[in-house]
A and B are shown apart, each in its own frame.
Chain A
């Protein structure tokens, strides 16, 4: 009888610990999810400017602009370019080195914060790893582009 009680207690305690663990994991997960939006969705939805988000689309042709900016006494290159989903456009501003595969007229995903509806501050520009590879998010846009071209 005593042994049975002990086992029951063990099971209950481990179950409680396990659910507590799951609870902590999911709370943390919810706080750290990074949502992906297209430029149109940025305009449609209310998105907090404090949350890290990702925006993806095509880099508009001839929109890449580099200028030198002094920040804290260091010369930095501020890069800006326009991302489009062929409906809405958003200007991305970024300081750093662009990934090797960044090109105008190709898909890109950036991570960072919204400044206002038309301007986005990127911390990271995510690169595709391979010439022929398309992230699924951008693949959707490719088909939009084809449609746009058909019209």
Chain B
């Protein structure tokens, strides 16, 4: 009964948003406010979608197995939280969540933005049209309310890999980021139709920041989840699915920088619009790659070709519409004269680097797909490709990142600049010597990257220090930039530590046997069998001793899920600021006294997560700043 109501609400969303779609197609020039009030449509679409989503969630909670999705992705034995998070632990539900977020952003825009009523109407017409396209995709190819007959008595299980608190937070955050870019697309395309008046940049700004913050958190959370759940000892594998999320993040990061100059100097406005459109296109491309089943991944819930074709058609038409509007409405600004040694120049340089990285990752991600379609050859692109291209780009990129904030607007002189930051340069030499002294035995590449990371952090701290020295109040936007740059510095250090400096030991460990890694002694105490709510766990007990001081017992698990007959690995991690001790347990030998164990020492991994946190906090300062300026 509830599920039918959910379906009705979904159809209502479809009907409401279809008005906007036809309005955009046929009546787009002159608005008729009395009938086509897009603000009302947005509100209604949001309320209908949320009602539909609540109905689906309720059906999941009460395990209504007459619904196809629930019978395939849930189970009455599931703990309550996974019944609820299971709503988006499958293709249909997750697309409904996607729609919910999209209508949510439309709703937020309708009640919050300072734009004129006319402009709002134009933006929401495009946003509602996007909602219409997604709703049609849900209704025609991925209806979560589809019935199965006869209803099974018990459902299959939620994929055990997804039975983790990570599922509760990673997808919603990621979607808030991905789909947040839809409103940026709508604002930009609407601005194009209006003939690009600059005031729209101020309207666009907060949405760029908020979406970027969520996407940053979403990617960070996903990476953290993979790190502790998969038991592979790494946090990033250059997997196509990971790359797909990184692409819009990179262009959005480029956008964060240009929108500042577009707002302040009124230059690169067209470029800002193009970046906004491209960012949303890349979000859609990511969705296509992940959801169409062309990629082998935990995210590919379904392998239904009609869905893939439908998403591809959506991607093509939305991209075409945006790009078409762009090329029909540009050349309205004078070409700016930007000197390289100026803040504008450095930000342009940042954009060139960001886009080169995006382009590289895009090629590496989609080339295998093209070649499998065109040449029928089965290939994959390995991590060495990404590392060999991106590592050299990192050097000039980081140098620009360090100098950029110290370079003046308009025109600056390199000699004067170096003179201004001579204290900082001396600090750089000192820290480099210290890092080199502490780690001269490590590979040269890792030393260089850690030094670069330290440089970024120190130069950012020095920026703040200058304000403190002059007893000036630190502006929010400087604070935001400093925090975000420190975040990148920490990320570089963390990523270098946990990739180049990683130590790994795989062995057959006898009960009682000790293994040494770094300063740690890891003694294997044995395996106990523990019963969980819907699984049986074989829990290894490892006594960790550091410099002959007993620290704690780590308990990596191997879980056998009863319903799906599936096994998952739960790694055990001991985190310190210098590195993570990471243990995963494998299979037992026939005599049950020896087990395969895999022990890693991942230096500085914790700084990756702290770096992501810094990025998010930095973004939040920008967000608050962009809000307060408006009023």
Residue positions of A touching B, CB distance < 8 A? 7, 21, 24-26, 28-29, 31-36, 52, 54, 66, 68, 74-77, 95-98, 100-101, 128-131, 133-137
Contact = CB atoms under 8 A, between A and B. Distances in A.
B589 A68 contact: yes
A74 B161 contact: no
A131 B560 CA distance: 13
Contacts of B568: 100
B195 interface: no
A32 B385 contact: yes
Given A28-B388, A97-B596, A36 B506 contact: no
B300 to A, nearest CB: 7
A36 B380 contact: yes
Given A28-B389, A133-B300, A134-B303, 13 more contacts: A29-B381, A32-B382, A36-B378, A66-B589, A75-B509, A76-B508, A77-B589, A96-B506, A97-B598, A100-B566, A100-B568, A101-B567, A129-B296
**For the complex of A and B, 9 pairs with smallest distance between CB atoms:** A97-B586, A36-B378, A32-B385, A129-B298, A100-B567, A75-B508, A135-B296, A77-B508, A32-B384
Interface in B559-590: 564-569, 584, 586-587, 589
B275 to A, nearest CB: 17
B378 A35 contact: yes
Contacts of A26: 363
A65 to B, nearest CB: 12
Contact of A29 (B296, B363, B558, B594): B363
Given A29-B385, A97-B596, A68 B508 contact: yes
Interface string B343-379: 0000000000000100110011001000010000111
Nearest to A78: B508
B296 A28 contact: no
- Which residue of B356, B378, B389 has the most chain A CB atoms within 10 A of its CB atom? B378
Contacts of B439: none
Contacts of B356: 21
27 contacts: A7-B335, A24-B389, A25-B389, A26-B363, A29-B367, A29-B385, A32-B385, A33-B380, A33-B385, A36-B380, A54-B380, A66-B589, A68-B589, A95-B506, A97-B569, A97-B584, A97-B587, A98-B587, A100-B558, A100-B566, A101-B566, A128-B296, A129-B159, A129-B296, A129-B298, A131-B159, A136-B296
B388 A32 contact: yes
A77 B591 CA distance: 14
Interface of B: 159, 161, 231, 296-298, 300, 303, 335, 356, 359-360, 363-364, 367, 372, 377-382, 384-385, 388-389, 505-510, 558, 564-569, 584, 586-587, 589, 594, 596, 598
Contacts of A66: 587, 589
Contacts of B382: 32-34, 52
A74 B567 CA distance: 27
Interface of A is mostly: mixed
A100 B567 CA distance: 5
B574 to A, nearest CB: 19
A117 to B, nearest CB: 20
Given A32-B381, A34-B382, A98-B587, A130 B298 contact: yes
Nearest to A21: B356
Contacts of B509: 75
Given A35-B378, A76-B506, A129-B297, A25 B598 contact: no
Contacts of B378: 35-36, 54, 137
Contact of B364 (A29, A74, A76): A29
A36 B384 contact: no
A131 B567 CA distance: 10
Max chain A C-beta neighbours (<10 A), residue from B161, B231, B508: B508
Nearest to B515: A74
Contacts of B377: 35
B490 to A, nearest CB: 28
A150 to B, nearest CB: 23
A36 B382 CA distance: 12
A120 B323 CA distance: 49
Contacts of B558: 100
Contacts of B367: 29
A76 B335 CA distance: 66
B37 to A, nearest CB: 45
A135 B294 CA distance: 9
A133 B367 CA distance: 23
A34 B231 CA distance: 24
B112 to A, nearest CB: 39
B21 to A, nearest CB: 35
A24 B393 CA distance: 12
Nearest to B294: A136
A142 to B, nearest CB: 13
B238 to A, nearest CB: 10
Contacts of B303: 133-134
B385 A28 contact: yes
A76 B569 contact: no
Nearest to A41: B378
Contacts of A21: 356, 359
A84 B388 CA distance: 34
Nearest to B389: A28
A28 B300 CA distance: 28
A29 B365 CA distance: 11
A130 B300 CA distance: 10
Given A25-B389, A32-B384, A100-B566, A74 B505 contact: yes
Nearest to A33: B379
Contacts of B363: 25-26, 29
A28 B391 CA distance: 13
A35 B296 contact: no
Nearest to A109: B296
A77 B596 contact: yes
B380 A34 contact: yes
